[in-house]
Structure 1
């Protein structure tokens, strides 16, 4: 017959686990203690509001002090405080949440949960990650309550008795351990406060020198004139309604949060009350390096308390190229508040953020296309990455994806296809592919500029998504519009010429053909197989993970209309190899940058041809 039992936890064994494994970063203890202080103030405000307490209109504040000589760090609040019974109940029972208890007790009288952060009853114990011992000095708001002093060294015992605190609230004093002395340094504490507590809802004051935080403060006339400044901003911009925010405020807030003094391109202000509570601002930053996309930073908050950066469950990977802040009290956080439970609510929030981003992009495009085109070089990598990663996002934004043309204007895919029938040619490097660009423009043809690393993936994605769409690099094929309709060159003569080139260049596998090109000035061009080149590019990018040949297939196209090509067969036999190699060099040079050895050989042949030209003139 089955029987029931009770799981038991031995505190002397759980404390070492807490000290080492409760949180991924030790410095997070400060966030936990300040969050608890914030909750204590919020609870007292709620009790005052419903008449359960009467502490006047005293402004909630949190004070943090370090004393390097005594090796202590203190966090103090003027919140609800605790009685001795409450200390025994909430502190000495690990994972018993005072926040949950408060919410349950007052749920019928007020929206008790709103703004309350802690729910797991473990935040206080993060103090032991950096401390040899921890003290609590607390005084309940309740009339006639006595102050309480509690101390523990992290073992399974503690001492509790009457304390000396004179004002309601709580002070947590950490006796910092030898291996955590960094948390007694002023710069380190300011850094942590900025990271974790910069937007806490109550003013935080930092005292890097000793100050008694447990006693009532008596200020002299002179001292009262000295205005203290909190280290945090209790009213972050995302709390305001979008219609009440100015351009200057958005840009100032961006500088404050990200220390980026290049103004953002534009932004999205999130302000949702239903079906979940979500506020925030997402910025589209300028990209200082157009070839390498710089990752963004999206900070996640819960009731103005920093949780983590770039949490993929809430913000899709491709949105990480943006910068921003998101505050969502409805997120179901786990015990460490550092990761999110992957449930349906989180997915809904993620989908909503994605939709808001696509809606904003559409509104900018439709209301001010000129500005949208001006932003395009900065936002293109983000949009293309988003399309590849999320087909729903692609379906939302595909009509506003732009392509820059050789004329340096912008077209949507639909606009470009209407203007340019058939295959879409593209350019990856305007300098290297300059000759091909000239041939195109001389023949009234256009191409699009795809110069970013992500473009090779993006066009493959488009070919997969859009039926009948085909991209080809400008050096991969000859358009019929680049050829003349004149008489075809003699087949036997062409065959002999091609064989001469193969022999002269020394590449038996070189494919050589002749065409009548409209541009007579060009002796020859190189064509590179689009499919094999893409495969090789992908293999190089991913370190040989994809199969690829040693070299993409190349074709040397001789221009039968060119005077030099036409006269090669009539040259003296000893000159033919030199001229053939030189023509091949010119074609290769217009297709790619020559290696050091290839460039050296090209210079030698150039010198030999100059000698021939000079001496032939003298002979005449």
Structure 2
């Protein structure tokens, strides 16, 4: 049983070196951003001491208190405003207390201070990886810290170390029967919240729930110890995965898929990753992005480790644990290292493989995944060239021949017609708009399948998808496409002599919106279309601008008219009668806006309403006059 520590008469006051005191100031005010991590640091240190004790006892039973349980105990005293953490680890002698707590890498402290004089707080944090000073995070919440320790060595005596975080500390003899260390924090007034057992348990659950040794509050163990992700997948039941997912996310719904990885090579890595059931989740705060928590030796290091996966996998939830990670002193960020790169590559590769397996084995489940998260895979095509081949297998598209089902690029390739050397796509605001696009006229006539691209992300995706297995991707709005197959052209309803004044009038009406107006060689069922030539920013880039929330004026394009269409013939007749007919003006502007609307590029569709009413009124008046 541990007695209340009392200082023996032989108490010696010591002074920290000036540069060490400066380091303490940096640690207390710059390094840590979350005050509650002081407990995580102390538990981590206690766990290390217990690990060392466990290893020592494998070969040496001649230790103090050989039968005592290897454990950590927490207690809080509201009235005294104290928190005490006790372990039964290796403990420390008087000399070891001075070495471990009275010295902070003295040989390099001065150099560190010099380097951080002009550095930002974030930069300073990154530079402290060489210092093992997590213990000093206690001064964020305490104005005095008392450490009483007794070494496992049978002949060792207990010692006490005490500091108020200024430039001095004291060291002396103490009375303690039990092996190990007790650290008592005398809390600042603004940190009184931590002098509560429930608050300490909350912190343990968040940061240290899976420490390998039991953590007790009173007689009750408050940590789980056995981390699910460190167990073999064959030992874990489906319900256990669901419980972990709910614990991590507070989501009532089950995840769509879990990926459990436990390996020692090429890097020590234990992880469970989840693909949520839905993209948007959260009962109170609606969110899309998930969190991947980073542990080291089952101690939480980062609540959200964004660098562990590429950005297009940011919807993933889960846990990653590795003993190979080089950590900075705060354990709040991980230094850039080859180990991190190997972890990232291993996790990314495994997710690619699992998703491709899901696509091969369960088309229905993968369709659900694609509907929720396909937009992220498209982002990956544009941003992750190294993983492009794996991501290409995951791409799914609706097409003009898929009847609403999703198809792969490989399936599209297997259905191309004789002589087809390209993959064709149409950009539109919706599948319904794409299906009615005037650009599809010549493709329908030839039986050529076209991909329907209707997400804003599609324009961004195309920046990384210019060809597939030797087939170039081509936008159906390009001005001079040479299509395979022969079709009979429809008979025109107006002559070239009638078309010329119509083209001139429409060019005058639309002005800088169009480069020119010309007769179409390919339109069959639609009256008009806008086509692009090579010297302009493509619609893909316009859609990217829209995706980024930037205004993007439609660049001038070529307006093609279908000379066999009734509407074009009627407009030509009106121009013959009166070139300034207001109905011609309204119809020309509406034809142009219709084309933009179908393609999802119209900036203000509501502006069309007065013009549509004008055209409806004219049509109704004509019908009445004819009656």
TM-score bucket (shorter structure):
0.7 to 0.9
Distance in 2 (alpha carbons) for counterparts of 1:606 and 1:16? 76
Counterpart contact for 1:524–1:583, Cα < 8 Å: no
Matched, 1:295 2:289: yes
Matches within 5 A, 1:82-121: 82-95=92-105, 120-121=131-132
CA contact (8 A) 1:301 1:327 kept: yes
Partner residue of 1:411? Answer: 407
* 1:253 counterpart residue number: 244
1:435 matched residue in structure 2: 436
Q: What's the offset of the Cα at 1:272?
A: 0.9
Candidates 157, 165, 170, aligned match of 1:154 = 165
Q: Does 1:30 align with 2:31?
A: no
* Equivalent residue runs for 1:155-304 within 5 Å: 155-184=166-195, 189-206=200-217, 229-289=220-280, 294-304=288-298
When the two chains are superposed, the root-mean-square deviation of aligned CA atoms in Å is 3.7
**Unaligned segments of structure 1, at least 5 residues:** 1-6, 98-117, 208-227
1:182 CA drift (Å): 4.7
* Cα distance, 1:367 vs structure 2: 3.4
Going from structure 1 to structure 2, the CA distance change for 1:315 and 1:526 (only over 3 Å counts) comes to closer
Secondary structure of the structure 1 residue equivalent to 2:407: strand
CA–CA distance in structure 2, aligned partners of residues 194 and 129 of structure 1: 21
The separation in 2 between residues aligned to 1:122 and 1:270, in whole angstroms, is: 32
Equivalent in the alignment of 1:124? 135
Secondary structure of the corresponding residue to residue 402 of structure 1: coil
| Contact 2:75–2:197, Cα closer than 8 Å, also in 1 | no
Cα distance in 2 for partners of 1:393, 1:448 equals 23
Cα gap change, 1:462/1:11 in structure 2, threshold over 3 Å: closer, same or farther?
A: closer
Shift of 1:378: 3.1
In the alignment, which residue of structure 2 is the partner of 1:111?
A: none
Structure 2 Cα separation of the partners of residues 255 and 366 of structure 1 = 28
Which residue in 2 is equivalent to 1:218?
A: none
1:65 matches 2:75: yes
Deviations 1:394-448 (CA, angstroms, capped at 9, x unpaired): 1344334332334222222232133243341134422544531896596455432
CA 1:167–1:294: 2 relative to 1, 3 Å: same
**Residue 554 (str. 1) matches residue 550 (str. 2):** no
CA offset at residue 463 of structure 1? 0.8
Shift of 1:19: 1.9
* Change beyond 3 A, Cα 1:606–1:15: same
1:379 Cα deviation from its structure 2 partner: 3.8
After superposition, give the CA deviation of every residue in 1:441-491 in whole Å (9 maximum; x if it has no partner): 964554324343432121121117865512316698888689752445522
Matched residue, 2:9: none
Q: Secondary structure at the match of 2:351?
A: helix
Give the aligned partner of residue 354 of structure 2: 360
What is the CA distance between 1:336 and its match in structure 2? 2.4
Instruction: Please report how far the alpha carbon of residue 32 of structure 1 lies from its aligned counterpart in structure 2 after TM superposition.
Output: 0.6
SS at match of 1:495: helix
Q: How does 1:310-459 map to 2 (within 5 A)?
A: 310-311=304-305, 314-406=308-400, 407-420=403-416, 421=420, 422-430=422-430, 431-433=432-434, 435-436=436-437, 443=445, 444-459=447-462
- Please point out which of 131, 147, 150 is paired with 1:136: 147
More displaced 10-residue stretch of structure 1: 342-351 or 237-246:
342-351
Alignment of 1:490-501 (within 5 A): 490-501=495-506
Q: Could you tell me how far apart the structure 2 residues matched to 1:17 and 1:120 are? A: 12
SS of residue in 2 equivalent to 1:392: helix
- 307-316 or 147-156, which deviates more: 307-316
Are the structure 2 counterparts of residues 558 and 289 from structure 1 closer, same or farther at C-alpha, using a change threshold of 3 Å? farther
Mean Cα displacement is larger for which, 141-150 or 388-397?
Answer: 141-150
| Separation in 2, partners of 1:309, 1:399 | 32
Gap change, CA 1:549 and 1:232, over 3 Å in 2: closer
Alpha-carbon shift at residue 320 of structure 1 (Å)? 3.5
Whole-angstrom distance in 1 between the partners of 2:258 and 2:216: 31
1:282 CA displacement: 1.8
Alignment partner of 1:79 is 2:89: yes
Is the 8 Å Cα contact of residues 46 and 72 (structure 2) preserved in structure 1?
Answer: yes
- SS of structure 2 residue aligned to 1:321: coil
Deviation readout 1:291-344 (Å, 9 max, x if unpaired): x99222211111101111454664444443322211110112222233333333
1:30 Cα deviation (Å)?
1.6
Shift of the 459–13 alpha-carbon distance from structure 1 to 2, 3 Å rule, reads: closer
Higher relative contact order structure (alpha carbons within 8 Å, sequence separation ≥ 6): 2
Q: Does the CA contact (< 8 Å) of 1:71 and 1:176 recur in 2?
A: yes
User: In 2, Cα distance between the equivalents of 1:501 and 1:13?
Assistant: 76
- For residue 113 of structure 2, what is the aligned residue in structure 1? none
* 8 Å contact from structure 1 (residues 96, 121) kept in 2: no
Aligned residues between the structures: 566
The answer to whether the Cα contact below 8 Å between 2:456 and 2:547 also exists between their aligned partners in 1 is no
Q: Would the aligned equivalents of 2:460 and 2:540 in 1 still touch at CA under 8 Å? A: no
Secondary structure of the equivalent of 1:470?
Answer: strand
Return the alpha-carbon distance in structure 1 between the equivalents of residues 383 and 186 of structure 2: 49
Shift of 1:602: 2.2
Counterpart-to-counterpart distance in 2, 1:439 and 1:339: 53
Q: Matched residues in 1 for 2:429 and 2:480: separation?
A: 17
The 1:278–1:364 alpha-carbon spacing in structure 2 relative to 1, beyond 3 Å, is: same
Instruction: Give the Cα–Cα distance (whole angstroms) in 1 for the partners of residues 594 and 183 of structure 2.
Output: 72
Contact 1:270 1:279 in 2 (8 A): yes
Give ranges in structure 2 of 5+ residues lacking alignment: 1-15, 108-128
1:502 and 1:414, CA in 2 relative to 1: closer, same or farther beyond 3 A?
same
Contact preservation (8 Å) 1:484, 1:518: no
Aligned-partner SS, 2:336: coil
TM-aligned CA distance change 1:91 to 1:503, over 3 Å? closer
Counterpart Cα distance in 1 of 2:266 and 2:572 = 80
Q: Deviations over 1:238-293 (max 9, x none)?
A: 11111222322222211112223332221221111234321111222234349x99
Work out whether 1:532 is the aligned partner of 2:538: yes
Query: Are the aligned partners of 1:513 and 1:556 in contact in 2 as well (CA < 8 Å)?
Result: yes
Q: Which moved more, 1:328-337 or 1:418-427?
A: 418-427
